[in-house]
Structure 1
């Protein structure tokens, strides 16, 4: 395991500056968090998130209304606009009636108030409830709901619906513990975008195959898709795979059918080509042009690779399945990769099921062998050619590139006798189990590529660790995948439709 680097704690003057207006030279807190920010950057992030200074800190003299208006950041024209807050931006925290330090941390560590944690506040007007975590010793956790963004907040959070307008900081209401005080289940009040039950697609090859094409060109098109039968069938497929791997580690013995063995061999060949095509020397970290060479070789070989997967009577489907395979590995023009490309690979697996190439008995192997092989190939590509994240939330996302491993990976951990969501903060647990559970493997990879404490580099993952059970994490991840991937036009505008995955 790589040794994590930690920044020195902020000085008292930095914390006081954050409490008195967030006047710090830390820059954009999202950027700082992604790169392992300086102490002043952390102070700026805390101030931007609305974290208050300790109650014992000396209060500054109250400015007159005129002087406040003249000196406030909103009244000045020489300052850049403040960064947009993420929907799960951190609220203020108070312990025993006194506000916690701006540098209060979660179980991942930190230098401020002992036992303090960070919790999540949804966007104003969002129907997603809040996530709260109890402090050791039963200390109270309070947080305000002041926020300015409308994107989706974490759906595993508990509590009531968010207020219609931002609440004043002084009137912050106590948060309920997860699963307690009438909070309901994970994602209470947040229905999934697509209602579906776990099921595999009915094996029904079309009369004629066609080259798939993009059909979602507007928000109205996306709405049609989400309300149609194709989206329901695809979500049912994701749920079916999720159900199949619940409680099953990657090491669970499975039998590979001939088509899946051929698909695994294809992924192994693509990985070997990465080693044969080294990155070119350049000054920029991201977007190595050698990726285009690898991509061109992959695209040229893709029809033959798909033909090896399909039985002879379905070779006509090569023309339709090849674009799904090619688009699963990113975009050669932009040299980027993201959750949309990952979803395209899941769509390829759906098409194989809809053609009858794979069935119910293959579900565990589809996730724990085939998809895991694809995931590790993409990590190798990312760390070799450093593809740009496509549509990433940056520090405020689960991961720059992946989402489904957190969905199916949390299902693998349901009812585990030892591991809990908080186990991601245990270095020994990650080292021992990252190779056996996709969720822990994702966290270990994040810690490998992002240097710094997890609560800074990945606050979303850090907050999820406070959820009491893997079943609640899994339920929230399923809803969040729909909201943050299937429900986002910038991602789904590139989705492909043909005779198997039909446009509505």
Structure 2
């Protein structure tokens, strides 16, 4: 195994990446400080790893409902146990009585507790031989749930969790056989925790563009969720995702529909007004086109926007250094 390329191809490596014994983990840091740094990000290993990771999992779940049979490894179960602890902790910090409508300050206490416990949680979730990675990967986990100062949540926090998952592949905790479970169990659990935090603490959307963005809080579940719906005759044509009957029947099977259901629960008024982009998407003729369009939109509207990218953390697993093609 070449030491020059210790990271390998991340999630795209069929064997699952194993790092060499001399690999040096780093505490991740922000590296995109100005608009001109954006080109460094877009040519970086981190960018290629991250977008490749999303594409790999997008392919793995194509056409599959959440109830499909898939392998559940011991490591997936341990990550799920960790997220269950994170979830249960919400009930220990109920919202406090306060005058302002948004941003309940009890969230700060909850997040402080998560950050205090994150090392311990990861020690329980990861095999002993992976514990050296914890100072690096815990930073991504801690940034996944929202901002304590502003009490907001958005696509940057979602990205941090997906980067955390990507790092779990890079260190060999998760492997290719876990791809479906990573989306259907781990990411779906995370999504439910994020929604619970949003409603419990009335979190502000971070940098929302209102009706002009896809959703106030999430983006990737629409990508992966639309992949699930490719070649699914029950929700075809795609405009069916707007029908209440279809949403009620299939929201437990398809992430895209669970996202639509959540939006309808938390927003009032005509769907075309509060979710204009999703309304427009419903007119597209196929789920394959929707899926491809959403990936392009994600790269343009999220990954190419400085206000999001300035918060990204880079370390040894997702480095800011320029991506080099290896022969």
Question: Shift of residue 204 of structure 1?
Answer: 3.9
Correspondent of 2:19 among 198, 202, 205: 205
Counterpart CA distance in 2 for 1:405 and 1:268 is: 20
* Bigger radius of gyration among the two: 1
- Whose helix proportion is higher, 1 or 2? 2
The aligned runs of 1:236-251 (5 Å cut-off) are 236-251=52-67
State the TM-score, normalizing by the size of structure 2: 0.91
Q: Does 1:313 align with 2:126?
A: no
The aligned runs of 1:265-414 (5 Å cut-off) are 265-414=81-230
Partners of 1:209 and 1:320 within 8 A in 2 = yes
Cα 1:432–1:200 change in 2 (3 A) is: farther
Counterpart CA distance in 2 for 1:284 and 1:472 is: 42
Structure 1 unaligned residues grouped into runs of 5+ = 1-195
Partners of 2:223 and 2:294 within 8 A in 1 = yes
Aligned partner of 1:458 in structure 2 is: 275
Partners of 1:306 and 1:321 within 8 A in 2 = no
Aligned partner of 1:174 in structure 2 is: none
Question: Shift of residue 285 of structure 1?
Answer: 1.9
Question: Shift of residue 227 of structure 1?
Answer: 1.7
State the TM-score, normalizing by the size of structure 1: 0.60
* Consecutive aligned runs of 4 or more in structure 1 exceeding 4 Å deviation: none
Greater displacement, 253-262 / 368-377: 253-262
Aligned partner of 2:5 in structure 1 is: none
What secondary structure, in the 3-state scheme, does the structure 2 residue paired with 1:369 have?
helix
Partners of 1:200 and 1:353 within 8 A in 2 = no
Partners of 2:75 and 2:126 within 8 A in 1 = yes
Aligned partner of 1:495 in structure 2 is: 312
CA deviation profile, 1:99-147 (whole Å, cap 9, x unmatched): xxxxxxxxxxxxxxxxxxxxxxxxxxxxxxxxxxxxxxxxxxxxxxxxx
Partners of 2:103 and 2:202 within 8 A in 1 = yes
Cα 1:326–1:445 change in 2 (3 A) is: same
Question: Shift of residue 200 of structure 1?
Answer: 4.7
CA deviation profile, 1:3-33 (whole Å, cap 9, x unmatched): xxxxxxxxxxxxxxxxxxxxxxxxxxxxxxx
Partners of 2:49 and 2:318 within 8 A in 1 = no
Pairwise CA RMSD of aligned residues? 1.5
Correspondent of 2:253 among 418, 425, 436: 436
Question: Shift of residue 309 of structure 1?
Answer: 2.1
CA deviation profile, 1:383-414 (whole Å, cap 9, x unmatched): 00011111111111111010000000000000
Question: Shift of residue 232 of structure 1?
Answer: 1.3
Correspondent of 1:260 among 61, 64, 76: 76
Partners of 1:200 and 1:237 within 8 A in 2 = no
What secondary structure, in the 3-state scheme, does the structure 1 residue paired with 2:302 have?
helix
Structure 2 unaligned residues grouped into runs of 5+ = 1-8, 322-327
Partners of 1:398 and 1:460 within 8 A in 2 = yes
Partners of 2:40 and 2:320 within 8 A in 1 = no
Aligned partner of 1:66 in structure 2 is: none
What secondary structure, in the 3-state scheme, does the structure 2 residue paired with 1:418 have?
helix
Question: Shift of residue 226 of structure 1?
Answer: 0.5
Question: Shift of residue 306 of structure 1?
Answer: 1.2
Partners of 2:46 and 2:314 within 8 A in 1 = no
Aligned partner of 1:193 in structure 2 is: none
Counterpart CA distance in 2 for 1:227 and 1:213 is: 18
Aligned partner of 1:477 in structure 2 is: 294
Q: Does 1:426 align with 2:243?
A: yes
Partners of 2:222 and 2:294 within 8 A in 1 = yes
What secondary structure, in the 3-state scheme, does the structure 1 residue paired with 2:235 have?
coil
Correspondent of 1:226 among 42, 53, 68: 42
Question: Shift of residue 210 of structure 1?
Answer: 1.5
Question: Shift of residue 284 of structure 1?
Answer: 1.9
Question: Shift of residue 496 of structure 1?
Answer: 0.6
Partners of 1:329 and 1:337 within 8 A in 2 = yes
